[in-house]
Every structure is written in C-alpha cells, then in structure tokens.
Homo-oligomer: A and B are copies of this chain.
Amino acid sequence: MKSLHDMPERPGPARASLDRLFELTEVLGALMQRGMADRGLTLARAGVLWALFHDGPMTQRALAAARGVTPRNVTGLLDALQEEGLIAREAHPTDRRATLVSLTPKGREFTAGLRGGRDELAALLFADLPPQQLDTFAATLVLAIERLKDVDSTAHA
C-alpha cells in the first residue's frame, strides 16, 4: 500500500511551479526596483504615479484606496513627488477638505517613459513565443491570481 508520505519526498510539478513563481517574484521585484532607482525614485512613488496616469486626478483618499495603503502614507509619498515636480496638489472644486492630485506635464512625461519601458520588457520577454504557449501561460496566471485573491480574502475572515 502507498504511504501517506510518498508524495512529499518528490518535489512535484505543483510545488516546482510555485517555487518558480517565488523566484520570479524576487527577480522581477528587484528589476523594477532597480529600474525605478535609475530613474530617481522608488517603487512606492512610481506606483502612485502609475495610478494617477491610469485613472486621472483624484483625492488622496482615493489614491490611498487605489494603492491599498493608509492615507497618511499617501501624504508622504506625494510630498516627495511634489518636491520632484511630478505631481501637483490643487484644491478640490466642491470639497474644501480634500486635495485633488494630478500629474504635472513632467509627471506625464515620466509616466509615459515608464509605459514605454514596460512595453519594451514585455516584447523582450514574450514577443517570440508561440501564441498558444503565451495564451496558456496568461490563462494560468489569471487562474493563479484569482485563487490567491481567494485565499487572501478567506484568510481575512
């Protein structure tokens, strides 16, 4: 008969894939961090710029929700970005408590550069792959993301 402990001895394809995922997370994270450092800012600050680029001007509160961090943290990140001239704080037209954050021209230019870098990297990584392989890859990624989010939400309960 098969022992309950037959499986754990061999890696198994599922575990191997997850380990690859961990490795990729590390490498990709490091690469992004380096890329941002070369451009003179940090991942957290770049994330704020990216959110503004995608969704347009918004309040700091909305930005905090979009980035999943505390409002207080957003204040600090924006202070730095404003110092660099990449974002601007304006008065909110109707709510005098809130400030409306938007990209300056310089911020827009910078963010367009980011987008270009991303597209370049995407081409470098995947452009030469057979469409079917890339499809399978993307579909599996989507599945993994979905299940990970599930785990996270049930863990919060």
Contact = CB atoms under 8 A, between A and B. Distances in A.
Interface of A: 8, 12-25, 27-31, 34, 68, 118-119, 121-127, 129, 131, 133-138, 140-145, 147-149, 151-152, 155
Contacts of A121: 18, 151
Contacts of A126: 13-14, 17-18, 144
Contact of A151 (B21, B124, B133, B135): B124
Assembly of this chain: how many copies? Answer: 2
A109 to B, nearest CB: 16
A31 to B, nearest CB: 5
A14 B123 contact: yes
A14 B122 contact: yes
Contact of A34 (B127, B135, B140, B155): B155
A13 B140 contact: no
Given A15-B118, A27-B145, 5 more contacts: A24-B25, A24-B141, A27-B148, A31-B148, A125-B147
